[in-house]
Amino acid sequence: MRSRPVVTLAIVLGLCSTPSLVAIQPSPDPESIEAKTARLAWFREAKFGLFIHWGLYAIPAGEWKGRRIPGIGEWIMNRAKIPVAEYELLARQWNPVKFDAEAWVSLARDAGMKYVVITSKHHDGFALYDSKVSRFDVVDATPSRRDILKELQAACRKLGLPLGFYYSQSQDWHEPGGAGNEWDFGPDLGPDGKERKDYDKYLREKAEPQVRELLTEYGPVALVWFDTPRMMTPERAQRFADLVRTLSPKTLIDGRLGKAGDYVSTGDNVVPGRVQAEAWEVPATINHTWGYRKDDQDWKSPGDIVFKLVDIVSKGGNYLLNVGPMADGVIPPACQDALRTVGRWLKANGEAVYGTGPSPWGEETGEPSSRGAKDLRGNPLFLPHNEWRVTAKPGKLYFTFFQEPRVPFELPPMKNTVKRAYRLADGEEVKVEVENGRPRLVIPRPIFDPTATVVVVEIDGPVVEPLRVADRVATLLGLFTRKAMTAS
């Protein structure tokens, strides 16, 4: 049974745009389940994290030699087929004079985010810290010489936010043995599918020692965020897992190592349709790129971000929302504004998010198309419903409305009785009427906060006891019988 949620997740996602991205793996050995649950406790509470993609690619910012290079900004070396020797020269221009680690972490805190994950090394191979096993890093190769991760680690410690590191374990376009750079070093695989590079040499001499450095010198490391596990056999993935587990047993492993981690990572920007029991996380962009691109200022609105956060949390997941700082070290101001607005909403309504459990129902998130329509990948088309979501804590349900209900809002079926209901942001009582045995909320119009209004419903008993169809029929029959009896 334990593997089912993961399978369902994969089916609902209908993924495969980035085939390697979701770990569809059997659950880990039983001996580790307790340890895993304990490791995951903070992560399951946190719900909302800040992802940061920063590196040399912030300098060209989507443009190379006067040409606009389409696609995600951190892929520019690949998309423009920039030779290593030329890309390396960018390091000489790296001088982020406005970088202020505390400003970044304060932004995360103000946005209501509870953890930070930054690219320690992306596919381009450039490390944002002083690595002893490579000179292609922010201290050895740049005039700035500031150790970005050291400064961030100090800021996160000071402000009390856990810090995790993205690490591209497979792709490293700077190294002849790393995966992905086929323009300088030829194809990773031959026509026979056999590996043609000394990939294990790269793993042994760069990737594994760098992960070791991060875990030992930049700890405590909240999590390691591996990505795109090309050529990651279970044995190779296990070597990384062993490093993490032995050097830092509390550190979480994401879902893209190449074997099951502590939680499932969905595809980039992919939100599953339904509640998932397993811990999971959506990595997502705030515009359309991870690394900064000067031509992408299309920031998601605060309302959109709040919806996505509550939607994800009501399905049991975490939202890891990315920003791409500019080369001078500043996070684009418009994107900061959107995040701070989300933070103000969370200040009043965070009780409906942090530490909550998912929806006790789940049918509210949408339904398969009744006409049997298929999506682009041939999977049954899922039609989401986006009017409201619900999260839960013992004895309490948090209904978040993203638009004004058109009629009094009938609570989903449950055996529990409703004790009272009130608005979360200001504590104002919300009237509960009972009609045909079903309680409904009478929500004053116009709705309090058109972005998202939370109504807390207190129930008897700690958890919702769902009312099955048979129970509902019985209730209705009971009512009819009573009515008939009083009428006669």
Q: Which positions lie near ligand H79, rule CB under 6 A?
A: 18, 53, 71-72, 74-75, 78, 227-228, 268, 283, 290
Min dist. Cβ of residue 72 to ligand H79 (A): 5
Contact 419, 459 (CB under 8 A): yes
- Specify the length of the chain in residues: 488
Q: Determine which helix (DSSP H) or strand (DSSP E) holds 421, and give its type and residue range.
A: strand 418-423
> Encoding tokens for residue 458?
């207190």
Q: Which two tokens stand for residue 323?
A: 């920003």
Q: Which is nearer to ligand H79, 283 or 350 (CB)?
A: 283
Least distance from ligand H79 to the Cβ atom of residue 70, Å:
8
Please tell me what DSSP assigns to residue 204: I
Is residue 167 a contact partner of residue 229, using CB atoms and an 8 Å limit? no
Cα distances from 47 to residues 113, 248, 289, in angstroms, run 8, 22, 22
Are 174 and 83 in contact by the 8 Å Cβ rule? The answer is no
User: 19 or 191, CB closer to ligand H79?
Assistant: 19
Cβ distance to ligand H79 smaller for residue 75 or 292:
75
Task: Give the whole-angstrom CA distance, residue 136 versus residue 148.
Answer: 14
> Of the two residues 48 and 388, which places its CB atom closer to ligand H79 in the complex?
48
CB of 23 to ligand H79, least distance (A): 14
- 310 vs 218: CA distance, rounded Å: 32
Identity of the residue, 327 or 459, whose beta carbon is nearer to ligand H79 in the bound complex: 327
Closer residue to ligand H79 in complex, CB, 75/94: 75
Q: Which of 103, 137, 102 is nearest to 120 (CA)?
A: 137
State the virtual CA torsion across 143, 148, 151, 153 in degrees, nearest 10. -160
Which sign, positive or negative, has the C-alpha torsion 171, 43, 129, 69?
positive
Cβ-based nearer residue to ligand H79, 53 or 300: 53
372/46 Cα distance (integer angstroms): 38
CA–CA separation, 95 and 192 (whole Å): 45
Least distance to ligand H79, CB of residue 225, Å = 8
Closer CB to ligand H79, residue 77 or residue 414?
A: 77
Provide, rounded to whole angstroms, the least separation between the CB of residue 57 and ligand H79: 10
Q: CB of 28: closest distance to ligand H79 in angstroms?
A: 23
- CA gap 74, 79 in Å, rounded: 10
Q: Which residue has the tokens 């991870």?
A: 290
Looking at beta carbons only, is 75 or 448 nearer to ligand H79? 75
Angle at 311 between CA 305 and CA 315, to 5 degrees: 145
Q: What is the smallest separation between the CB atom of 119 and ligand H79, expressed in angstroms?
A: 7
Q: Which residue is nearest to ligand H79 (CB)?
A: 71
